[in-house]
Structure 1
């Protein structure tokens, strides 16, 4: 009964605060942390038993990492080995050393200072990956860099647990047991490889053949739980096991269906996890020791941002990725609470220091979404201070990255699937091009004697565009995967070269106007293009003649592209574009007997003069015509197919209703 009451309270308060938070554009993670603080034992005290909440929260972390594994792949992970080993090792060790030195300065014993180094070195995989998923940046360069470092942090928990007994003054770790521990890990890896290669694909194939959704869901969830349990038994974290389980299933043919089953549960349980973290905070500690908490938060931010940036820089990442990596890793991780609780139980950490740590840690978690969202402005500030750092070291010399003979060429910013297709098309047609790409692996793979025109750098920086020949280029195609970088690239390119033709790809229609205002000549929206393709395929299901379908699609495409260029010929003001794009849709209006339209010709309706409707279709019985003649008579029972807004249709509808007279 208590659990049901707790669920009712949590859901009710969550709905209210999430609605308010969404209105003020507050990240959902922050909202859940606030809800936890309000409802927990140190807030209003409405939820006092945290054990059940923490259990559900752990399930949320497992499902979150499981879905990330589903969307990733072993191949991508193998490509990221340098990030995992070198980047992760540097980030963890430098953070431990820095925090140990800082805390020792405040007269803490060395063993306690080292324990805090362990605790602070870990970042929150749940928070960082959740934000990257919302930003659709898991598979970007910065997303892969962060994931690699976070994976290493999960692995680093093992030696930290082994070293902990030495810090509390016991006899230390059992050295005789270390080979056994290593053997367990090796055995686990062997079991996982066997499962991934032979057992799980065959098992899922047989389950899928049963065509039973409940059986499939239980099998997917069971696979995740079993592998998470195996990793836990081997001394690794359950979240690492869940991630590995996701990787295994992600390599099968059933990853998409598995993802669709898990996502609803993942979101609910992940929300409970952030609630449980918020409940740990003793609000009275914040009020009584505010100065110390502010100092702790500043130290954590300063150290972790610097060590994160340093690790990414050693990996050869550009400044933009280094800054984003440092800012994203600035918080305390969820497993840091486990280490801190172990220190408290063993009397290594006093209760007062433990509460100060909790307050500082939760504040860093709550501020992480805002800090990650501020990264573009931080990058811009950095490049204004140090503009020459826009290029990768070793590419400052123009002859290394640019060809002085290039003129009238095309610059392609981003070399993903779309950028590669544009480059191949330019190659086929004989158009010279220059590619700007942030991923060093792509540069190393693609830059050859046959394809020499590749620049490693940030297209949002002046020096990079200048080396790419922006002043002599005819066109710039912006197809970078980082959505936040697109406006900066377009604005800078337009400032440097007023004559260049800029084509930018974006995901959502709502950003069209922003990109056009910044200087783009054309904007291609993935959302609009997908809608056009879906609309085309849906029409074919109605057995319309292919020629008629092409006419409709051609007109829709012509109309749509007019809205995605800088100077649309129809004279529509730019401010109304976004509204129109979202409000227009296809309507079918039937002519009623005795209405004004009954018996009129198409020309007699004067739809263009009265309502600005120039194109529409006409249906008589089973016959549909999408370009009716002006002399075509309209009878009761006929229907007009019109592409317009709901408001426009409401204004027109009296013409087709009975008892309407001509004024």
Structure 2
């Protein structure tokens, strides 16, 4: 007999292995959970016998998922995006359902089943697509805003379906009465809870927060979530509806973000369990028997959703390129589709074979979704002629901003850090050109007279238009490793001698960014620690000269390549350009007379200069061995005062 502990351990082991394996293949974790359920379920290995018990526990996954959706329900946010959410989103979901009803009518599918099936197929993956938008820094792009607006409406559209599905399970002659009764119940419950709930919740959470106990706060969140879910279940509505209302009420309090952090582990684990149970009712034999139908429905789903989304975007004034791009992002299915399919199975609104086919279609579409997102730009450029014109206009605007600049700094990202950098450079009479993907920020900064332009710094052509070939340095001011690596690669391909300074959040990111070719990596945690320590030492009476010297020494140890920038900061100098050490990158091309010489030979012949790093074949070595000999194509980073640097560069290029 299999115990509960055996089942839990089995699920944990297989799920960990599956998520790791799917991650290696760059596939979403949701698919891993579905695969685990299909493998361990009754249709395959049959290692989880109590399917009903697992389904009951998995319902809590849907409850917490709807709770987090309620937390994200912000009335000001909805009003600010009302045209996209309630216009574009409603048109996409409505047209998708109408198209499914039309096809279902000719295929002989009952109207109720076709209605819910249309809702399931209309959904896209909020978890997957929002993560991809963040990773690709496209959240603030035009298509990113449309994608998020449609996803937000899709999440909200699940709520009426949760009320509708139980009513559709009743006999036809009672459906209208049951549906009307459910609607009245939902309306009364929402009215009472929303009217009284905001006052009660604000005071209750304040009372709990004053106890300053994380355990008590967590227990309170669980009580509120499950309490309202229980209340809606008692009046004949869905538990998920009550959880959504609870999240919506908390979203209006100042405890929203704290609640999100506390609930996230429960939501992710239980949502994974829910997806495992969805996978459990997948029968591979049934799917294989209907494989032509599955593949046909997959093509029909993705083509139809793409056409609906692209047409809706054009109706709402989007460009052809952004319409096609948004259609490619949203044409696949999502996790809420599985929620509705599981409800259809629970209330027996359709035959098991039909649900199997629909679930298999959604799974295959989720596999294709990341691939379509990655290829979306190439597809748009290939098939949308106007996109080339818009891209060239964008590059023209970038080039116009950088026109006439020499030895300037290209700032990638114009958030708070990027703006601070630009002001520092302006005070030193050092020109800069900033690139950013937030159109509102770019517009406001440009009106104020700042040199910032809309453009993707990860694209080589954008960097070239920003004057990469004339620039003196590139600074990546945002902390995103994947995007920073793309920028570094683009810079290295065009200007291997150009230093790239990168911001990072964690120490663990330093090695990867350095290997990619960053000249310097500045980590937020390290610099925050130094600043806190220096302020504290000054306030407790440590002499200022010693504080500056100590922080300088720590930075010298941490940033080997940046020593020239930190040396002598506590010394007054009339001519700092002649006194402070600087860095200089020298590219050794064929014919340079320093080829074959060692680092030790150069440093002995050029006193006052040290080789900080050598970049060879794209790999950067900091503080290389003194016996290392220079080869063709090396980028040698020298540190010293300007006069000594000039002498060392002459020796490397023109000989001893």
TM-score (norm 2): 0.68
Rounded Cα–Cα distance in structure 2 between residues aligned with 1:505 and 1:97: 49
1:342/1:111 Cα in 2 relative to 1: closer, same or farther (>3 Å)?
A: closer
1:189/1:494 Cα in 2 relative to 1: closer, same or farther (>3 Å)?
A: farther
Partner-residue secondary structure (3-state), 1:505: strand
In structure 2, what is the equivalent of residue 439 of structure 1?
438
Partner-residue secondary structure (3-state), 1:123: coil
Partner-residue secondary structure (3-state), 1:503: strand
Partner-residue secondary structure (3-state), 1:402: helix
Unaligned stretches of 5+ residues in structure 2: 563-582, 586-609, 627-656
In structure 1, what is the equivalent of residue 578 of structure 2?
none
For residues 472-505 of structure 1, give each alpha carbon's deviation from its aligned partner in whole angstroms, at most 9, with x where no partner exists: 5554433457654433344345556667654343
For residues 359-384 of structure 1, give each alpha carbon's deviation from its aligned partner in whole angstroms, at most 9, with x where no partner exists: 2223334x26xx43773454356447
Q: How many residues align?
A: 576
In structure 2, what is the equivalent of residue 330 of structure 1?
332
1:23/1:135 Cα in 2 relative to 1: closer, same or farther (>3 Å)?
A: same
- Deviation of 1:85 after TM superposition, in Å, equals 1.8
Unaligned stretches of 5+ residues in structure 1: 582-607, 610-663
In structure 2, what is the equivalent of residue 589 of structure 1?
none
Rounded Cα–Cα distance in structure 2 between residues aligned with 1:341 and 1:180: 16
**Equivalent runs, 1:215-254 vs 2, <5 Å:** 215-226=216-227, 242=243, 245-246=246-247, 249=250, 252-254=253-255
Rounded Cα–Cα distance in structure 2 between residues aligned with 1:73 and 1:533: 37
Rounded Cα–Cα distance in structure 2 between residues aligned with 1:227 and 1:56: 17
1:570/1:480 Cα in 2 relative to 1: closer, same or farther (>3 Å)?
A: closer
Partner-residue secondary structure (3-state), 2:59: helix
Rounded Cα–Cα distance in structure 2 between residues aligned with 1:62 and 1:37: 23
- Deviation of 1:121 after TM superposition, in Å, equals 0.5
Partner-residue secondary structure (3-state), 1:48: coil
In structure 2, what is the equivalent of residue 274 of structure 1?
275
Rounded Cα–Cα distance in structure 2 between residues aligned with 1:250 and 1:557: 43
- Deviation of 1:272 after TM superposition, in Å, equals 1.1
The reply to whether residue 43 of structure 1 matches residue 38 of structure 2 is: no
In structure 1, what is the equivalent of residue 417 of structure 2?
418
Rounded Cα–Cα distance in structure 2 between residues aligned with 1:120 and 1:553: 58
In structure 1, what is the equivalent of residue 208 of structure 2?
207
- Deviation of 1:152 after TM superposition, in Å, equals 1.0
**Equivalent runs, 1:139-288 vs 2, <5 Å:** 146-157=147-158, 170=172, 174=176, 181=183, 185=187, 188=190, 191-192=193-194, 195-196=197-198, 198-226=199-227, 242=243, 245-246=246-247, 249=250, 252-255=253-256, 257-288=258-289
For residues 259-294 of structure 1, give each alpha carbon's deviation from its aligned partner in whole angstroms, at most 9, with x where no partner exists: 443333333322212211211211211332223222
Rounded Cα–Cα distance in structure 2 between residues aligned with 1:536 and 1:576: 36
TM-score (norm 1): 0.68
**Equivalent runs, 1:48-197 vs 2, <5 Å:** 48-64=49-65, 66=67, 76-97=77-98, 99=100, 116-125=117-126, 128=129, 131=131, 146-157=147-158, 170=172, 174=176, 181=183, 185=187, 188=190, 191-192=193-194, 195-196=197-198
Q: Work out which of the residue numbers 486, 490, 501 in structure 1 matches 2:484.
A: 486
Rounded Cα–Cα distance in structure 1 between residues aligned with 2:330 and 2:525: 28
For residues 28-77 of structure 1, give each alpha carbon's deviation from its aligned partner in whole angstroms, at most 9, with x where no partner exists: 43332222112212121122332332233232243345457668966555
CA contact (8 A) 2:435 2:456 kept: yes
CA contact (8 A) 1:293 1:360 kept: yes
In structure 2, what is the equivalent of residue 353 of structure 1?
354
Partner-residue secondary structure (3-state), 2:559: helix
Rounded Cα–Cα distance in structure 1 between residues aligned with 2:297 and 2:136: 32
For residues 391-450 of structure 1, give each alpha carbon's deviation from its aligned partner in whole angstroms, at most 9, with x where no partner exists: 7599559479934755245444333333343344455656555443333343454442x3
Q: Work out which of the residue numbers 373, 376, 386 in structure 2 matches 1:375.
A: 373
CA contact (8 A) 1:157 1:236 kept: no
Rounded Cα–Cα distance in structure 1 between residues aligned with 2:395 and 2:557: 46
| Greater shift in the superposed pair: 490-499 or 88-97 | 490-499
- Deviation of 1:245 after TM superposition, in Å, equals 4.3
CA contact (8 A) 2:98 2:118 kept: yes
For residues 274-327 of structure 1, give each alpha carbon's deviation from its aligned partner in whole angstroms, at most 9, with x where no partner exists: 211211211211332223222323333333355456666757599689747743
1:150/1:123 Cα in 2 relative to 1: closer, same or farther (>3 Å)?
A: same
Cα RMSD (Å): 5.3
CA contact (8 A) 1:501 1:521 kept: yes
In structure 2, what is the equivalent of residue 524 of structure 1?
522
Rounded Cα–Cα distance in structure 2 between residues aligned with 1:105 and 1:207: 57
In structure 2, what is the equivalent of residue 458 of structure 1?
456
**Equivalent runs, 1:500-515 vs 2, <5 Å:** 502-508=500-506, 512=510, 515=513
Rounded Cα–Cα distance in structure 2 between residues aligned with 1:60 and 1:180: 23
